Structure 1
Amino acid sequence: MSNSALEFKDMSFGYPYENDLFMELNVAVQPGEFVSIIGASGSGKSTLFKLTVGLEEPTRGSIRLDGEKKANRLGHVGYMPQQDLLLPWRSILDNAALPLEIKGVSKKEAHKRIIPLLDEFGLNGTRDKFPSELSGGMRQRVSFLRTVLSGSPILLLDEPFSALDAITKVSMQEWLLQQWEKQGSTIIFITHDVDEALFLADRVFVLTETPIKELKEVTVPLNRPRRLEDLYSADLLEVKKDLMFELRSTIT
């Protein structure tokens, strides 16, 4: 049995009345790994997201979590979308408590568990505020806390920083790496930003031609902990150049 946190095994998928988008795809992500998935618009990133979290099912093959075939993955993979989706009428504390409440935890117990985490996630002093009172970066911190509280060791983040300004985006990338190192989760990070993919990940998977029979894999030549200046190392600039060429070749 595979020890992979996530595995696509001979997985094929296509929407009705269309050709297959994925064809007998085999990919494995290891426990505790940080993987980025990158591709041009329309390359299949969103479909891969839906398949991973269980919003779509393969037409052939299987998707395995922790080595087990999971026909129903909803609730087994924590996910964080592009928009924070915080409920505007709920306080930050109550927003963060939502995944625990869905699991049947009382509001009182959920608050008890979450309050110590607010400071750890950079949210000290926000418990009684509402989403409209927070910056975009702070709202994304709440969204990530909520994703972690789903209890899943596998977290899928779908371009969570795409709407942020450049300075806030860099700050959030550094913060995310710190949290990942503390939590030990397996993270699959979908992005269209080459610098972001390389800065965050151990490996980068590139979606290229369709049908997608394999994902081009790039191992990031950076040690951890990462520093922003590492993005300008000669080795990484060469990798970035190759990635940009690969992505440009997919645009017709």
Structure 2
Amino acid sequence: MSDSVLAFNSIAFHYQTGKKKEAVSIFDGIDFRVNDGEFVSIIGPSGSGKSTIFRLVTGLENPAAGEIFLNGKKTENRLGQVGYMPQQDLLMPWRTIKENAVLPLEIKGMKKAEAESRVLQLLDDFGLKGVEDKYPGDLSGGMRQRVSFLRSILSGSNILLLDEPFSALDAITRLSMQEWLLAQWQKWKKTILFITHDVDEALFLSDRIFVLTGRPNHQLTEVTVPLGRPRTVRDLSRPEVVTLKEQLIDQLRSKELS
């Protein structure tokens, strides 16, 4: 447990559904560890529990059984303990980019002048210099996601959860953002847990991939990506990566059809 910053120990979770409030089991005793500085992606069929993992980590849901550890400590109240970047950027359209970016610092009670000063120092690193006084509607999807990622960084947590943040972007912008994200991850040395439906994206970004196989999940399948770092998108054409991609797609397809 000493090297892990996030751990699920024998986690069970179910939803209550329908008029009779019948229990639908999502997890039945799953275990996993995410180590300090890792980039781990989660893939799986729709409804298999990918987003539920994030809700459990953030504290929006609590397990029916088992324990969740953050930075080596069993943590009951997890609200606000990790950074979160959603699929939609959730920027406030009436706030400027600077005003959106300072939001996590405001929530922490930092004085306005100090919060704005800190954000202004980071704008260049995030490719946002010169747009701080614009509004979200003035920016492209990729630029808005940069603001969203900046907010997750400013949460101060060493653990960042990214929930399909590039799924709405066109293919070229998406690849550019993936490359940019890897550069930021290596610079900030954060631990990232990343949800995606795109197997290529998971292979390109990740050290390991967690595969959910359906409901209820009794265990995760863990796959180590056979690529070193730094890497480029061309590395996805290597034979061992192509073979792994085909295996993952076959595994996901079989669960979607079952």
Provide the TM-score with structure 1 as the length reference: 0.98
Matched, 1:10 2:6: no
Q: Post-superposition shift, 1:3?
A: 3.2
* Matched position secondary structure for 1:19: strand
TM-fit CA distance, 1:25:
0.8
Does residue 139 (structure 1) correspond to residue 144 (structure 2)? The answer is yes
Instruction: Report SS of the residue matched to 1:79.
Output: strand
Question: How do 1:149-164 residues align onto structure 2 when only pairs under 5 Å count?
Answer: 149-164=154-169
User: Residue 121 of structure 1 aligns with which residue?
Assistant: 126
What residue is the counterpart of 1:204 in the other structure?
209
| In 2, Cα distance between equivalents of 1:2 and 1:57 | 23
* 2:197 alignment partner in structure 1: 192
In the TM superposition, residue 211 of structure 1 has moved relative to its aligned partner by 1.1
Corresponding residue to 1:220 among 220, 225, 234: 225
Residue-by-residue CA offset, 1:206-236 (whole Å, 9 max, x unaligned): 0103210111111000110110100111110
Tell me, in whole angstroms, the C-alpha distance in 1 between the residues paired with 2:195 and 2:256: 18
Alignment pair present for 1:105 and 2:110: yes
| Number of residue pairs matched by the alignment | 252
Looking at structure 2, the residues matched to 2 and 181 of structure 1 have their Cα atoms a distance apart, in angstroms, of 22
Q: Which amino acid aligns with 2:164?
A: E
Displacement of 1:47: 1.0
Q: What CA distance in whole angstroms lies between the structure 1 residues aligned with 2:125 and 2:3?
A: 30
Corresponding position: 1:248 with 2:253: yes
Conservation of the 8 A alpha-carbon contact between 2:202 and 2:209: yes
Q: Which secondary structure state, in structure 2, belongs to the residue aligned with residue 74 of structure 1? A: coil
Aligned partner of 2:70 in structure 1 is 65
How far the C-alpha of 1:84 sits from its partner, in A, is 0.3
Partner residue in 2 for 1:54: 59
| 8 Å contact kept, 2:45–2:214 | no
The residue identity in structure 2 corresponding to 1:244 is I
- Three-state SS of the structure 2 residue aligned to 1:104 is coil
User: How far does the alpha carbon of each residue in 1:31-68 deviate from its partner, in whole angstroms, 9 at most, with x for none?
Assistant: 00000000111111111111111110000011100111
Distance 2:170 2:110 in 1: 36
Matched, 1:83 2:88: yes
For 2:97, the aligned partner's letter is: I
Q: Normalising to structure 2: TM-score of the pair?
A: 0.96
The Cα offsets for residues 97-138 of structure 1, whole Å up to 9 and x where unpaired, read as 000000000111001111110000111111111100000000
Q: Which amino acid aligns with 2:249?
A: M
For residue 2 of structure 1, report the CA deviation from its aligned partner. Answer: 3.7
Q: Secondary structure at the match of 2:25?
A: coil
How many angstroms apart in 2 are the aligned matches of 1:29 and 1:220? 15
Secondary structure at 1:230 match in 2: helix
> Aligned partner of 1:132: which letter?
G
Structure 2's unaligned 5+ residue stretches are 17-21
Indicate if the aligned counterparts of 2:44 and 2:214 stay in contact, CA closer than 8 A: no
Percent of pairs with identical residues? 62
Between the aligned partners of 2:116 and 2:222, the Cα distance in structure 1 is: 42
2:13 partner letter: F
Q: 1:167-186 to 2 correspondence within 5 Å?
A: 167-186=172-191
Q: Secondary structure at the match of 2:148?
A: helix
Identify the match of residue 101 of structure 2 among 71, 96, 111.
96
